[in-house]
Amino acid sequence: MSTPSAHEVTQLLRAWSSGDQQALDKLTPLVYEELHRRARYYVALENPGHIIQTTALINEVYLRLVDFRGVTWQDRAHFLAVCARMMRRILTDFARSRHYQKRGGAAQQVTFDEQLVVASEPSADLVALDDALTGLASVDQRKCQVVELRFFGGLSVQETAEVLKVSEETVKRDWRLAKLWLLREMSGGEERNAT
Amino acid sequence: MQPERWKEVEHLCHEALERDEGQRAAFLQSACAGDDSLLREVQSLLAHQKQAEHFIETPALEQAAMDLANGERDSHSSDTTPRLIGRMISHYRVIERLGYGGMGEVYRAVRADDQYQKLVALKLVKADFDTHFVLERFKNERQILASLEHPNIARLIDGGTTGDGLPYFVMELVEGQPIDQYSESHRLSTVERLKLFRSVCSAVHYAHQHLVVHRDLKPSNIMVTSEGVPKLLDFGIAKIMDAEHFPRAIEPTLTAMRVMTPEYASPEQIRGEAITTASDVYSLGVLLYYILTGHLPYHLTTRSPHEVARAICEIDPEKPSTAVNRVEEVPGADGKPVRLTPEKVSSTREGQPERLRRSLGGDLDQIVLLAMRKEKDRRYSSAEQFSEDILRHLEGRPVLARKGTLSYRATKFVKRHKAGVIAAILAILTLIAGMAAIVRESRLERAQRARAERRFNDVRELANSLMFDINDSIANLPGATAARKLLVTKALKYLDSLASEANGDPSLQRELATAYQRVGDIQGLLNSQQNVGHSSDALESYHKALTIRETLAASSGANPADRRDLAFVYQRLGQVCALLNDFTGARENDQKAFTIYEALHAASPNDAKLTLSLGSSYYALGRLFSLNGEWAGAVQNDLKAIELYDQVSRGKPDDSTARYALAAGYREACYNVGKAGDRPKALALCREAVGINEALVAANPNEVRARLDLAAAYSDLGTTLADGADPVAALQIWRKSLANAESVSAADVNNARAHVAQALAENQLGLLLTKTGQSGGLDYELKALEIRKKLFTDDPKNKGRQEAVALSYATLGDTEQILALRPRTRRSQQLRHWSQARSWYSQASESYQSLRSGGALRGEEAGEPGRIAQEIAKCDAVLGKKQSPVAAARAQ
C-alpha cells in the first residue's frame, strides 16, 4: 500500500470519525511507522531515560500526518479529539498484538554510565488501561476524554481545555481524579465500592 | 454510581488532596460523618495517590516507542557480547566488557603487540549509527583530539573500523569512580570538593583552548582515580557521535528535538542551538551544584522530559544553600529510590546541615548560579574564569559572581550616594556605558535579538532611573549640581541612542520625550531647582521632546494625556525662549500651550493638575507682557493665574505645589502692579507671597526651592519698598533675601538660581547702602558683578545673564556717581569717583550695545542704554573730556 498523502490522511480521519472502520486500517501503518521511527531513535541513544524533546511530540506527528490547511479553525478541536481517539485505538491494538505486557518498575539500566538521570516512568499496560478507560467513560465521560486527549493525544493541559471548552483548572482536576480512578480499576483485586 | 454520589466522592478527594497527608484521615472521618461506604470509596481512590504522580505522564506513543526500543536493545546486547571477548580488533585484544549502552559498548582491551601490554578502553560504536559519517567525523577530529595532552584528560589513542565495518575508539583506560561517587565515598568536605572541581575546570579550559568542546559533561564522564586525580572521558566524542546522524535520521520538522543528558544540558542545547564553550561552562555549573549539594538544580515534581526541558530553559534554579534543605526521592546508583534529606547530604559533606548551608551561602551560591545563567553570555566567560572565582572564594577575596548583578550595583549606589554623589553616578554610568555598547553590538546579530532586547530594556530602565530616581533623590542634596551635569551629558548619549530605536513604540517614545524634558529642566530652567545653567542646551533637549510629542499627539492613538504632555513641552520651550530673550518664540510657544490647556481644562474643570497647568500658562503669558513693558496685560494674566492657583490651593491645602505656584503668582503680580504704578497694591501682593513662602520654608527648612522662592519674595518686597521710598525697611528685607540665597549657594556652588538671587540681592543691597549714606555698598556690588560675570561665562547665550552684567556695571557707575556727589568729598576723590563711574558706564554701554545688536533688549530695559549714554556724557563733562567720536556714536 502506498503511503497516503497528508491530504488523504485528513480525508481518512474524517471518514473514520463518521463511522468508516476501514479508514482506520489505512491509518494504522502510518502510526506504526511513526512508532518505529521513534523506537529506532531511542535505541540509538545511550540511555532511553535520557530522552528529551522540547516540542510536543504528538503535535509534530499530527502536523506531519495531517493536512491542517484543509481543516477550519473551528474544526481543529474536533480534529484533535479524533486524532487522540485514533491513537488510542491503534496503540492499544498494537500492544494487544505484541502480547504487550505491563513491564513494571523502571526501565532496565543499560548504560555504562552509572547514572540514570531521568527516571523512566513505569510503563502503563495499554491494554488494561484501555479497558479501564472504557469503564471510566460510563462513570464520567469527560474524565475519560481528558485522559484520551492528554495521554493518547499528547495534548497539553491548555490544548485539552480548548478542545473540551472547559477551564484549565477543570482539566487538571479531572486528570488528577481520573488517574486515581484508573489506577484503582487497574489494580484489580482491591475492594471496590459498587454503590 | 449515581452522578450525585460521584460528585460527592470527587469533591472529597480534591478536598483531601489539598490537605497534608497527616490530616487527611481526620478530615475524611469528619467529612463523611458516618457514611462508611462514602469513606471507603474516597479512601480507595486516595490509596493510589503516590503511584498516580508518575502514571501516564508520558504520552502513549512515546511510551510505546521507548518500550519497543528497550526490547530491541536487550536482544541486541545479549547476543553481541560473546562474539567479541577474546577477539582482536586491529591491534587490540578484547578482554572483557565494561559496559554497554545505546551508543555502543565499552571493553577493556590490551594492545597485543605492545611491549608493555598497555590496557586501554575500547569503545565500539553500534551498527545503528551512520558508520560512514562517524568515520568521516572521526578523521577530521582525530588530530585535534589526539593532541589533547592534559593530566586530567583521558587520551584518545586510536580509532578505526572493525572487520565488520563498525567504528571504534581506543582511549586511555581510567580505573576509578565517577566524581560524584568518589566525593561521597571519600566524604570530601566542601573545600576538598571545590579543589577537585578546579582540576576538572583546568582540563576543560585546556580543551577549550584547543577548540574542543566536550558537549556532554556529567559525573559519569569524569572518573577520579584512586590517587584522587580526576580524568575527563570522551572529550569531543559527543561531537563525532552527534545524535542528528543516525540511520534514517529525524526529519527536518523534528530538528527541534535533541538528545542529551538533560540535567546537565544547557538551555541552548535543549533548544538545539549552537553549542559553544559556554555550554560546557553551564554543564560544569550543574556538576558543581550536584557535587556540592547532592541535589540536581531543578526541583521537579515529575520527571517527564517536557518538564525537565521547560525547567532548564525557563526556571531559575534555587540557590545551592537552599537546595540542601530539600527532602526528595531520587533514583540511586542501583536504580532503587534513595531518600535525600538535609541530614543525609550533610553527613558526607560538612557533617551538620547548618554547617553545609553556611559553607554554601553567599559566594558559592552566586558562583554556581553565575555559571548556570540561562543566557550564555552572562555566564563566566571561560572555565578558567569560573575556576579563578572559586579560588578567590577559597582565599577569602571578593568574588566576581557577587559583583555582576544590576541590583547589586543599584543597592550599592543607593547606599553610597549620599556620601559621594559623583563617585556613585560614575559607577552607574560605567555600568550603563557597557550595556549600551552591548546593545549596539548585539543589534548587529540577528540571532541574538532577544538578548539585545533584554539589554535594550535594561538601558531604557537605567536611563530612566538616571533621569528620575537618581536625579530626584539628589535634587535637594547640596553639592549635587556638578554630579547632575555629568548625569545630563551621559544620559543624553543613551537617550539619543535609544531614540533611534524607538520608532513604532509609543510607550517608549513617551518615556523618551519625558526623559528629554527632564534633561532640559536640569540643563537650564532658571526656576528649576536643579538647573545647571545651560539654556541653549535645554532648548535643544526640549525640541527633541517636542518632535516626539507632536508625533504622538497627532497620531491616531493619541489620548488627552498626549495633548497635555505636548502643551507642557510648549510651555517649557516658551520659558527657555524667554530666558534666551527670544520673545517671539516664547510667545508662540506659550500661546500654543495655552490653547491646548484651555481646551483640556474646559473639558475637565475639576482636574487640579490641569487647573494648575492653565494657571501656569496665564502666568507665562503675563510674564511675556511684563517683559515687553505691557503692565496692564501682564497684571490681567497674573490675576487669572492667581485665581486658578488659589482655587487648587484651597482644595488641597497640603499640596505644596499649588502653594509654591500661588506665591509665584503673587510675586509676579506684585512686580507688574508696582511697575504699573500702584505701589500700595503691589505691597499687599508681595506680602501675600512672603507669607506663603515663609510658611513653606518653615515647613521644609532644608529645601532648596523653599529658600530660593523666599529669597525671591523678599527681593520683590525689597524692590517695592525701595521704590516706595522706604529704603530702611527695604534694606532689612534685602538682607533677608541675601541670607536665604546665600544659604543655598554656599552649600551648592553650582546652583545658578541661587547665585542669580545672591547677585541681585548684593547689587540692590549695595546700592541701597550707598543711597542711605552708609559704607560698604561698593563691595557688595563688586561681588555681585563677579557672580554675574561668571554666570554669563557659564551660559553665554543667556541674554538675561548678559543683561545682569550690564546692570551691575550701570549700578557701579551710579554708585560711584553718588559717592562723588557726597558732601565733604575731596576734589581728587571726586574726580576718581567720576572717572570710575565713567569707566563702569562705558562697560555697561558696551554690554547693552551687544545686547541690542543681538536684537534682545527687552522693553523695560530699552531705555537704559540711553540713560547710560547721558551718564557718560555727564561724567565726561565733569572730567572735562571731550567726547570721542566713537563714544558719541555709541551713545546714540
- CATH number for position B142: 3.30.200.20
Q: Does the beta carbon of B1 lie under 8 angstroms from any beta carbon of chain A?
A: yes
Q: Does the beta carbon of B122 lie under 8 angstroms from any beta carbon of chain A?
A: no
Task: Write the residue in B64, B102, B306 that is nearest to A43 by C-beta.
Answer: B102
A170: nearest CA in chain B? B14
Q: Are residues B89 and B237 in the same domain?
A: no
Q: Which of A31, A36, A50 is the best substitution to test chain B (most B C-beta atoms within 10 A)? A: A50
Fill in the DSSP letter of residue B228.
S
Is residue B40 included in any domain, yes or no? yes
Q: What is the pLDDT of residue B259?
A: 39
A151: nearest CA in chain B? B59
Q: What is the pLDDT of residue B810?
A: 94
Q: Does the beta carbon of A96 lie under 8 angstroms from any beta carbon of chain B?
A: no
pLDDT in tens, B537-566: 888 888 988 988 998 888 866 677 888 889
pLDDT in tens, B818-860: 999 988 888 889 999 999 999 999 999 998 888 887 766 665 6
Q: Are residues B111 and B138 in the same domain?
A: yes
B478-484 mean pLDDT: 58
- B468: pLDDT strictly greater than 80: no
**Domain finish residue from B383, B415, B450:** B383
Q: Within a 13 Å sphere around the CA of B305, how many CA atoms are in the beta-carbon half?
A: 24
State the cell numbers at B607.
482636574
Contact state of B265 with A52 under an 8 Å Cβ cutoff: yes
Q: Of B40, B49, B39, which is closest to residue B17 (Cα–Cα)? A: B49
Dist. CA A190–CA A75, nearest whole Å: 42
- B206: pLDDT strictly greater than 80: yes
Nearest-CA distance B442 → chain A (Å) = 26
* Mean pLDDT score across all residues of chain B: 79
Are B510 and B565 in contact by the 8 Å Cβ rule? The answer is yes
| Identified catalytic residue from B216, B365, B565, B590 | B216
Which range (B122-136, B519-533, B623-637, B841-855) has the least confidence? B519-533
Q: Does the beta carbon of A126 lie under 8 angstroms from any beta carbon of chain B?
A: yes
State the cell numbers at A19.
463511522
Nearest-CA distance A65 → chain B (Å) = 12
Which chain A residues contact residue B4 at CB under 8 A?
Answer: none
pLDDT in tens, A123-156: 567 888 998 999 999 999 999 999 999 988 888 8
Dist. CA B500–CA B548, nearest whole Å: 12
Is residue B733 included in any domain, yes or no? yes
B102: nearest CA in chain A? A46
- A5: pLDDT strictly greater than 80: no
- For chain B, the domain total comes to 5
Residue-wise burial string across B464-495, b where 16 or more C-beta atoms lie within 10 A, e elsewhere: bbbbeebbebbbbbbebbebbbbbbebbbebb
Q: Are residues B836 and B721 in the same domain?
A: no
Residues paired with A190 in a beta bridge:
none
- B642: pLDDT strictly greater than 50: yes
- B777: pLDDT strictly greater than 60: yes
Q: What is the pLDDT of residue B273?
A: 76
More confident residue, A78 or B281: B281
List the end-to-end C-alpha distance of chain B, in Å, as a whole number.
114
Q: What is the pLDDT of residue B204?
A: 93
State the cell numbers at B146.
589526539
Q: Are residues B806 and B735 in the same domain?
A: no
Residues B540, B545, B546, B550, CA torsion sign = positive
- A126-139 vs A168-186: helix axis angle to the nearest 10? 120
Q: Are residues B146 and B262 in the same domain?
A: no
State the cell numbers at B129.
549509527
Known catalytic residue at B216 = yes
Confidence of residue B407 (pLDDT cuts 50, 70, 90): very low
Q: Are residues B201 and B287 in the same domain?
A: yes
Is residue B322 included in any domain, yes or no? yes
Q: What is the pLDDT of residue B636?
A: 95
Q: Which of B48, B130, B313 is the best substitution to test chain A (most A C-beta atoms within 10 A)? A: B48
Q: Does the beta carbon of A195 lie under 8 angstroms from any beta carbon of chain B?
A: yes
Which chain B residues contact residue A54 at CB under 8 A?
Answer: 256-258, 270-272, 306, 309, 313
Q: Does the beta carbon of A91 lie under 8 angstroms from any beta carbon of chain B?
A: yes
Q: Which of A27, A31, A41, A94 is the best substitution to test chain B (most B C-beta atoms within 10 A)? A: A41
Q: What range does the domain containing B163 cover?
A: 81-173
**Domain finish residue from B173, B193, B213:** B173
B76: nearest CA in chain A? A43
Q: What percent of chain B has pLDDT over 70?
A: 75
Q: Does the beta carbon of A62 lie under 8 angstroms from any beta carbon of chain B?
A: no
Which chain A residues contact residue B80 at CB under 8 A?
Answer: none
Q: Does the beta carbon of A140 lie under 8 angstroms from any beta carbon of chain B?
A: yes
CA-based radius of gyration for chain B: 42
Q: What is the pLDDT of residue B463?
A: 57
B233: nearest CA in chain A? A113
Alpha-carbon dihedral angle through residues B852, B856, B860, B865, given to the nearest 10 degrees: -10
Q: Are residues B169 and B196 in the same domain?
A: no
Contact state of A61 with B70 under an 8 Å Cβ cutoff: no
Confidence of residue A100 (pLDDT cuts 50, 70, 90): very low
Three-state SS for B98? strand
Q: Are residues B212 and B159 in the same domain?
A: no
Residues paired with B167 in a beta bridge:
B161
Q: What is the pLDDT of residue B632?
A: 93
Q: Does the beta carbon of A99 lie under 8 angstroms from any beta carbon of chain B?
A: no
- B405: pLDDT strictly greater than 50: no
**Domain finish residue from B335, B359, B383:** B383
For chain B positions 270-299, those within 8 Å of chain A (CB to CB) are 270-272, 296
ipTM value for the complex:
0.79
The stretches of B276-315 forming alpha helices (DSSP H) are 277-293, 305-314
Q: What is the pLDDT of residue B33?
A: 84
For chain B positions 333-362, those within 8 Å of chain A (CB to CB) are 333, 335
B515-535 mean pLDDT: 63
Contact state of B61 with A35 under an 8 Å Cβ cutoff: yes
Which range (B412-426, B812-826, B853-867) has the least confidence? B412-426
Which chain B residues contact residue A120 at CB under 8 A?
Answer: 66
Dist. CA B333–CA B630, nearest whole Å: 95
Q: What is the pLDDT of residue B763?
A: 94
Is residue B144 included in any domain, yes or no? yes
Is residue B237 included in any domain, yes or no? yes
B329-336 mean pLDDT: 67
Q: Are residues B232 and B346 in the same domain?
A: yes
Contact state of B303 with A119 under an 8 Å Cβ cutoff: yes
Q: What is the pLDDT of residue B315?
A: 83
Contact state of A184 with B44 under an 8 Å Cβ cutoff: yes
Is residue B377 included in any domain, yes or no? yes
More confident residue, B111 or B77: B111
Q: What is the pLDDT of residue B615?
A: 94
Nearest-CA distance B599 → chain A (Å) = 48
A-B interface: how many C-beta pairs under 8 angstroms?
260
Q: Does the beta carbon of B827 lie under 8 angstroms from any beta carbon of chain A?
A: no
The stretches of B703-774 forming alpha helices (DSSP H) are 704-723, 727-747, 752-771
B229-236 mean pLDDT: 85
Q: What is the pLDDT of residue A61?
A: 60
pLDDT in tens, A165-183: 999 999 999 999 999 999 9
Confidence of residue B133 (pLDDT cuts 50, 70, 90): low
Contact state of B56 with A109 under an 8 Å Cβ cutoff: no
Q: Are residues B99 and B216 in the same domain?
A: no
Q: Of B732, B776, B730, B784, which is closest to residue B758 (Cα–Cα)? A: B784
B411-430 mean pLDDT: 46
Three-state SS for B121? strand
Dist. CA B108–CA B858, nearest whole Å: 101
Contact state of B248 with A37 under an 8 Å Cβ cutoff: yes
Q: What is the pLDDT of residue A188?
A: 67
- B386: pLDDT strictly greater than 90: yes
Is residue B449 included in any domain, yes or no? no
Which range (A88-102, B176-190, B677-691, B825-839) has the least confidence? A88-102
Order of strands across the sheet that contains B222-224: B177-178, B222-224, B230-232
A187: nearest CA in chain B? B48
Q: What is the pLDDT of residue B73?
A: 55
Contact state of B54 with A121 under an 8 Å Cβ cutoff: yes
- B250: pLDDT strictly greater than 90: no
Q: Are residues B244 and B292 in the same domain?
A: yes
pLDDT in tens, B558-615: 677 888 889 999 988 988 888 777 888 999 999 999 999 999 999 888 888 899 999 9
Q: Are residues B216 and B129 in the same domain?
A: no
The answer to pTM > 0.80 is no
Q: Which of B28, B67, B296 is the best substitution to test chain A (most A C-beta atoms within 10 A)? A: B67
How is chain A split into domains, by residue range?
A: 6-186
Which range (A39-43, B198-202, B683-687, B705-709) has the least confidence? A39-43
CATH no. for residue B365?
1.10.510.10
